Amino acid sequence: MIEARELTKRYGDKTVVDHLSFSVKPGEVTGFLGPNGAGKSTTMRMIIGLDSPTGGSVTVNGRSYAKHAAPLHEIGSLLEAKSVHPGRTAFNHLMALAHTHGIARRRVDEVIELAGLTSVAGKRVGAFSLGMGQRLGIASALLADPAIVMLDEPVNGLDPEGVLWVRNLLRGLADEGRAVMLSSHLMSETALIADHLVIIGRGRLLADTTVDDFTREAGGGGVKVATTEATKLRSLLAGPDVTIVSSSAEELLVSGRDAREIGAIAARHGVPLYELTAQSVSLEEAFMALTQDSVEYQSAPADTVRKAA
């Protein structure tokens, strides 16, 4: 369990994280989303004590990270993939971390195998591809069998097979009762893995919701209907909560009734349909609309510059 309360970080007069409160619960995958520069990485650095907060607090399983006797056992993290000395082999890197917590060599071999690095464990990390670096980072996050796993953009640089691997791995970890937190700037990718969403922009909390709710809210795109009898269908579908707009003589965009209903009504009245499609707003668009608002809301000058450019 990670709990952030009014967490704030300022660098000079620039506020990177602004009174942020959220929690990451066990048994769930929490997606931590925001555009680049929203303060995701800084927040994660504060969680494991690399940066100290200017205000507010964040606890890991009830205590600040540094107060734990075996911190890697509480939370395993991948921040930037290159948090490794390139001159050391993958095995030696993991072994050096394992020594601090008295973790046996057997476990090091285990996470190397889990991450699919067995064949390159003896190679120096400097020669690793981005994807292999990510796998090594994930292996070190899992090293001490932590109750919480926190990964910053874990799928960056992974091939499709690797992305699938991460997705299944994180799902499995959450199902085992661990708390999983992963950051991303890609909504569609995160929606596939996460249960819960914490969305931030400019360091502020924009939404603390579930993927299901977010999808439902984003899904109100209406149904596109194409028919030769547009006028007739229009009057048949009319109702108190229904709005219908038409983009051409034979096309209607209906909201307030789902595709099934519309099809049934048309069939009952013998109206021929040659297209019936639910129009979903993509999660990515909904996410962008959400974060875009916050950017516009908070920084008119920046927006003016963009318009002028």
Partner 1 sequence: MTADTLSDALSAPPARTTVHKVTGRRVLRSEWAKFWSLRSSWITLGVALVLLVAFGAIASATYSPDAVGTDGPPGPGSGGTSDAVSLALTGVTFASLAVGVLGVLLAAGEYSTGMIRSTLAAVPRRLPVLWAKSAVIGPVALVLTGVAALAAFQLGTLGLDGEKIALSIGDDGVLRSLAGAGVYLGLVAVFGVALGMLLRSSAGAIAALVGILLILPGLASLLPDSLYDSINPYFPGNAGSAVYALHQSSDALSPGAGLAVFAGWVALTLAGAAYRLVRSDA
Q: Where are the alpha helices (DSSP H) in 37-186?
A: 40-47, 71-74, 90-100, 105-114, 130-142, 160-175
User: In angstroms, rounded to a whole number, what is the distance separating the alpha carbons of residues 194 and 192?
Assistant: 6
The H or E element spanning position 24 is: strand 14-24
Nearer Cβ to partner 1 (17/266): 17
Residue 298, number of CB atoms within 10 A of its CB: 14
Q: At closest approach, how far in Å is the CB of 1 from partner 1? A: 13
Nearer Cβ to partner 1 (39/222): 39
Nearer Cβ to partner 1 (10/185): 10
Amino acid identity, position 161: E
User: In angstroms, rounded to a whole number, what is the distance separating the alpha carbons of residues 74 and 181?
Assistant: 13
Nearer Cβ to partner 1 (105/260): 105
Q: At closest approach, how far in Å is the CB of 94 from partner 1? A: 10
Nearer Cβ to partner 1 (111/206): 111
Nearer Cβ to partner 1 (69/308): 69
Binding residues for partner 1, rule: CB under 8 A, are 27, 45, 48-52, 65-66, 68-73, 77, 79-80, 82-89, 92-93, 95-97, 99-104, 107, 140, 144-147, 173, 176-178
Q: At closest approach, how far in Å is the CB of 64 from partner 1? A: 9
User: In angstroms, rounded to a whole number, what is the distance separating the alpha carbons of residues 87 and 54?
Assistant: 35
Strands, sheet with 29-33, edge to edge from the N-terminal-most edge strand: 75-78, 148-152, 179-184, 29-33, 196-201, 204-210
User: In angstroms, rounded to a whole number, what is the distance separating the alpha carbons of residues 254 and 115?
Assistant: 48
Q: At closest approach, how far in Å is the CB of 195 from partner 1? A: 16
Q: At closest approach, how far in Å is the CB of 123 from partner 1? A: 13
Q: Which positions ≥6 away from 185 have C-beta within 8 Å? A: 33, 34, 35, 36, 38, 40, 153
Specify whether the CB–CB gap between 107 and 177 falls below 8 A.
Answer: no
Angle at which helices 105-114 and 130-142 pack, to 10 degrees? 140
Q: At closest approach, how far in Å is the CB of 213 from partner 1? A: 24
Nearer Cβ to partner 1 (68/234): 68
Q: At closest approach, how far in Å is the CB of 269 from partner 1? A: 49
Q: At closest approach, how far in Å is the CB of 288 from partner 1? A: 30
Q: Token pair of 200, please?
A: 């931030």
In the three-class reduction of DSSP (H, G, I as helix; E, B as strand; rest coil), residue 12 is classed as coil
Nearer Cβ to partner 1 (139/218): 139
